[in-house]
Amino acid sequence: MVDRSGRRDWRWLMVVIAAAVIALDRVSKRWIVKNVIPAHPIVVWPGVFRITHVLNTGAAFSMYEGASSQTLVRYVLIGFSAVAVVVILVLLWRMGRRLSVTAVALALILGGAIGNMYDRIRFGYVVDFLEVHIVHYHWPDFNVADSCIVVGACLLLLEMLRPQRDSR
């Protein structure tokens, strides 16, 4: 697509990136649900990486997992996700015309947020399945959507820390 000024409009690519994240997230979670029995992980790299099947009713890193009102947590997380999706869509609409690290990062975050929000709305939980141990540290289980959100956030952080060229 070309905008009014004759420059190429890259927003279509940002939609494709977000849609690819959503599709990969859905496919991977469906595979896990059908092929991995809860509490019977598949060891990929002993002591480092396992494929698991965990139903996360909490937030990122299983925060609020044991909250007394899981229904309240669920609706707050859905509401927060919906607001985040709207904000990111507005930012992408404005910034996605140019192909940039920021636009790609926002597309990754958008896809991840929609992927996890879909699970919360449809099932009341998010399927997590990637488990990582590094020495004595154990990351809480996560999924493709979480990974894309983190990669997008890291790209945004790197973009903010990168020295900016003078626009003059």
Answer yes or no: 146 catalytic: yes
Provide the CB-side half-sphere exposure for 162 (13 A, CA).
Answer: 11
The encoded tokens of residue 135 equal 């020495």
Exposed/middle/buried for residue 54 (C-beta within 10 Å: 0-12, 13-18, 19+):
buried
Catalytic residue among 25, 119, 141, 146: 146
Nearest to 85 by CA among 120, 56, 125: 120
* Torsion from C-alpha of 77, 79, 85, 87, nearest 10 degrees: -120
Catalytic residue among 119, 128, 141, 166: 128
CA–chain centroid gap for 104, Å, is 13
Answer yes or no: 141 catalytic: no
The encoded tokens of residue 103 equal 């636009």
User: CA torsion sign, 112 to 64 to 82 to 30?
Assistant: positive
Give the catalytic positions in this structure.
128, 146
